[in-house]
Amino acid sequence: MKTVSSITLTLAVSTFLFFATPRALVAQTDCLGCHGDTSMQDASGHNVGVDAHKFGESIHGVLKCGDCHTTIKDYPHPDQVTPVKCDTCHADEAAGLVGSVHASRAEHPCTSCHGDAHSIFPKTDPRSAVYPLNVPHTCGACHGNDAMAKKHGLPNVYPMYIDSIHGFALSKEGLLVAANCQSCHGSHHILSHTDPLSSTYKVNVPKTCGKCHAGITANYESGVHGKAVAAGHLDAPVCSDCHTAHAIEQPTAAAFRMQSTPICGNCHKEKFSTYRDTFHSQLGSLGGYVETARCWDCHGAHEILPASDPRSPIAPANLVKTCGRCHAGANASFVKYQPHANARNRKLNPALYYVTLFMNLLLIGVLTFFMIHTLLWLIRSRYDQIKARAAKGGKNA
Amino acid sequence: MPDLEQAVDGKGEQSGAKARFFMRFTREQRTLHAVLFTTFLGLAATGLPMRFSQSIFARKFASGVGGFGTIIFFHKFFALVLTIAFLIHLKEIFMRGVIHREKGIFWGSTSMVANWKDVKDLVGHLRWMMGLGPKPQFERYAYWEKFDYWAVFWGMIVIGFSGYAMWFAPFFARFLPGWALNAVLVVHSEEGLLAILFIFSIHFVNTHLRPDSFPMDMVVFTGVESEEEFKHKRTEEYERLARQGKLEARVAAAPALWQVNFSKIVGFTAIAIGLTLLVLTLSAYFI
């Protein structure tokens, strides 16, 4: 018993000495004596505990608490402490945030993306909130939120992205090279797509996608759309106009093939209308048979060239080959078929115009004549029937 | 295909005092009609979704049967069956009219070929409908029946040719001009639409739904019709046969009850499918 009492006394005295006299805080252990309790709360109920083990492993684990919490030098310290300034060390990142969509520090503190200040890991560490495979989840915390999207007039992009081909590559295949949010938008200096300096500004989109899809971008840039955009015609489509920005699908998939022709039709209205008249479109609309020719099956998708260009798949010399991809046995006379013939245009397609006119007149003529004929006949027959029955004293009398 | 007098199976002579029945269509003709309307319904049901592929019913139908692949498979299947039936019919006409030199195939009162009487009947019939003259009396085939026959005949050639031209386009392209490859789709779908609208509205009413035959003329299923009906509908033929003393040869047995019931089921099913397709066709212009 005596031994126990003396130990208790020694502890009590040393504790009293520790708390009673102001002393300088030098090592992490000095702070962790209190803040090492991870459930510790301040007067207003905020958690001020630190997981000492995790912090030790984090990228800032080698720093002393006072390196960031610069105003706290002694114990006891005031209840109110000034917020930590990451800029002190991370000046470049801080500069990047200036003018970006996330410039407001009050709304977007560093920790909103980088996570808990005491467990920040390098972006190459799978535990990091900004590790490539974690980025969509991190951004999705805000950009997968309907209320937030509505407040800022933004689409709720997280669900679109996560079901897209990029999202699948990332979440299902775990591909580090799969495009995540920051691959296209950048990280600190994110600009609105309406800003000409933004990586997602219309003119810059091909270059942004081209960071990964270099071959396709080169093809695109030599095609009519790429040339038009480069020449300042902003009506011409860039990658995202056909593929969308976030809900990108595998272009060969049935779902995309089914919805794709109207995308071209948005601009090419006349061509879309004449395509609609053809068997290609009729079959294509029915589903379950997605092989029927869509725009790019003949025109190409990225390096679209006019028929006058000998490299174009629709150049006269290449038609047999192009049509032959689907139509086995396609020959020189077969490719005289006009996939965009306009039966309503007498000058352009006179034969088709007159055939259609004849067929319509035949249809209307025959039906009109026999409609009248049959109607008159019905009335007269019924009249005779009633008269005959009346003569016999029947119920129609 | 035997002529009507030879097609009667002899049982008719015992019919006695009861209502007599007369042979109108041979078994071969009835079979041809059955194959024709079955394949026609099939072709219409599979052709309409392609013609109106943007409409809701077409997409629902296509997704219900497994997509366009299924539709075109059955469309081609029915087309082949109908083509074979048409070729058999052509062979029959050739054999009877050209080889056996049978009278009444190409001309005369029992022929399908239109004649001056048909023109007079058409005018007279229209005048009667408007109360301007007496009702004309008809021979074996009235003018609207001949029109039905030739409409189908012309349709078979036009729709058949344009259909095969699309099916085997690279082959047909060898001797058709370029624009014709575009025109065949227009011809095929317009003529098909005409056939569907005509058969499901005008043929149905003229032949089956008009007061004289309502709700269905069974003669094309049972092959026989009562003396009263024969006399009323085809007075001239009846009188001619009586004059020539051939009336007795056409007397046939009354149709068996199962035959009548079976005919009703088949006939009403066909009419119901046809009217459904007619409604869908017309709705495609609005939905």
| A359 neighbourhood in chain B, CB within 8 Å | 186-187, 190-191, 194
The answer on pLDDT for A99 being more than 50 is yes
Are B250 and B8 contacting, i.e. CB atoms less than 8 angstroms apart? Answer: yes
| B212 neighbourhood in chain A, CB within 8 Å | 381, 385
Kindly report, residue by residue over A351-397, the tens digit of the pLDDT: 999 999 999 999 999 999 999 999 999 999 999 888 888 888 766 54
pLDDT at A347: 93
Nearest CA in chain A to B125: A377
pLDDT at B14: 46
Contact A329 B206 (CB under 8 A): no
| Domain encompassing residue B64 | 19-283
Q: Using CA atoms, how far apart are residues A18 and B22, in angstroms rounded to an integer?
A: 126
Does residue B1 lie in a domain region? no
Contact B194 A278 (CB under 8 A): no
Contact A355 B187 (CB under 8 A): yes
The neighbour count for residue B220, using CB atoms within 10 Å, is 19
The answer on pLDDT for A9 being more than 60 is no
B72 interfaces chain A, CB cutoff of 8 Å: yes
| B197 neighbourhood in chain A, CB within 8 Å | 363, 367
Higher-confidence residue of A3 and B233: namely B233
- Residue identified by tokens 């049509």 is A323
Are A122 and A132 contacting, i.e. CB atoms less than 8 angstroms apart? Answer: no
Kindly report, residue by residue over B82-108, the tens digit of the pLDDT: 999 999 999 999 999 999 998 888 988
Contact A381 B210 (CB under 8 A): yes
Q: Residue A22 — very low, low, confident or very high, per pLDDT cuts 50/70/90?
A: low
Contact B70 A378 (CB under 8 A): no
Are B155 and B163 contacting, i.e. CB atoms less than 8 angstroms apart? Answer: no
Does residue B8 lie in a domain region? no
pLDDT at B10: 46
Angle at A336 between CA A335 and CA A339, to 5 degrees: 80
Instruction: Tell me how far CA of residue A275 lies from CA of A202, A270, A289, in angstroms.
Output: 28, 9, 17
Contact A371 B125 (CB under 8 A): no
Contact A370 B202 (CB under 8 A): yes
Q: Read off the tokens for A378.
A: 């019905």
Q: Read off the tokens for A382.
A: 């019924």
Nearest to A275 by CA among A254, A296, A294: A294
Minimum-distance CB partner of A356 among B54, B174, B186: B186
Angle at A206 between CA A202 and CA A211, to 5 degrees: 130
Q: Residue B9 — very low, low, confident or very high, per pLDDT cuts 50/70/90?
A: low
Number of domains in chain B: 1
pLDDT at A316: 94
Mean pLDDT score across all residues of chain B:
90
pLDDT at B211: 86
pLDDT at A2: 47
Are A23 and A74 contacting, i.e. CB atoms less than 8 angstroms apart? Answer: yes
Kindly report, residue by residue over B21-59, the tens digit of the pLDDT: 999 999 999 999 999 999 999 999 999 999 998 888 888
| A331 neighbourhood in chain B, CB within 8 Å | 170, 173-174
Kindly report, residue by residue over B108-123, the tens digit of the pLDDT: 889 999 999 999 999 9
| A289 neighbourhood in chain B, CB within 8 Å | 67-69, 72
Percent of chain B with pLDDT over 90: 75
Contact B69 A328 (CB under 8 A): no
Mean pLDDT score across all residues of chain A:
89
Nearest CA in chain A to B178: A336
Contact A279 B54 (CB under 8 A): no
The answer on pLDDT for A149 being more than 80 is yes
Contact B166 A343 (CB under 8 A): no
Q: Using CA atoms, how far apart are residues A386 and A393, in angstroms rounded to an integer?
A: 10
The answer on pLDDT for A45 being more than 80 is yes
* Local structure of residue B134 (DSSP, 8 states): P
Q: Read off the tokens for A153.
A: 């007039």
Return the CATH number at B56: 1.20.950.20
Minimum-distance CB partner of A359 among B178, B179, B191: B191
Contact B210 A373 (CB under 8 A): no
Kindly report, residue by residue over B197-227, the tens digit of the pLDDT: 999 999 999 998 888 888 888 999 999 999 9
- Helix axis angle for B27-51 and A279-286, nearest 10°, is 90
pLDDT at A5: 56
The answer on pLDDT for B68 being more than 90 is no
Higher-confidence residue of A13 and A111: namely A111
Higher-confidence residue of B162 and B19: namely B162
Minimum-distance CB partner of A352 among B70, B182, B190: B182
The answer on pLDDT for B15 being more than 50 is no
Minimum-distance CB partner of A289 among B59, B67, B173: B67
Structural domain spans, chain A: 19-84, 107-190, 196-248, 261-341, 346-397
Q: Read off the tokens for A362.
A: 């035949």
Q: How far A293 CA lies from chain B's nearest CA (Å)?
A: 14
Q: Using CA atoms, how far apart are residues A365 and A343, in angstroms rounded to an integer?
A: 20
The DSSP bridge partners found for residue B22 are B225, B251
Are B33 and A258 contacting, i.e. CB atoms less than 8 angstroms apart? Answer: no
Q: Using CA atoms, how far apart are residues B129 and A381, in angstroms rounded to an integer?
A: 8
The answer on pLDDT for A6 being more than 60 is no
Segment A283-289 shows an average pLDDT of 72
Does residue B14 lie in a domain region? no
Are A344 and B171 contacting, i.e. CB atoms less than 8 angstroms apart? Answer: no
Kindly report, residue by residue over A116-137, the tens digit of the pLDDT: 889 999 999 999 999 999 999 9
Contact A286 B59 (CB under 8 A): yes
- Residue identified by tokens 């810059």 is A204
B132 interfaces chain A, CB cutoff of 8 Å: no
Q: Using CA atoms, how far apart are residues A103 and A99, in angstroms rounded to an integer?
A: 6
- Residue identified by tokens 């072709």 is B43
Direct distance between the N- and C-terminal alpha carbons of chain B, in angstroms, rounded to an integer: 47
Q: How far B122 CA lies from chain A's nearest CA (Å)?
A: 10
Question: Kind and range of the H or E element at B21?
Answer: strand B21-23
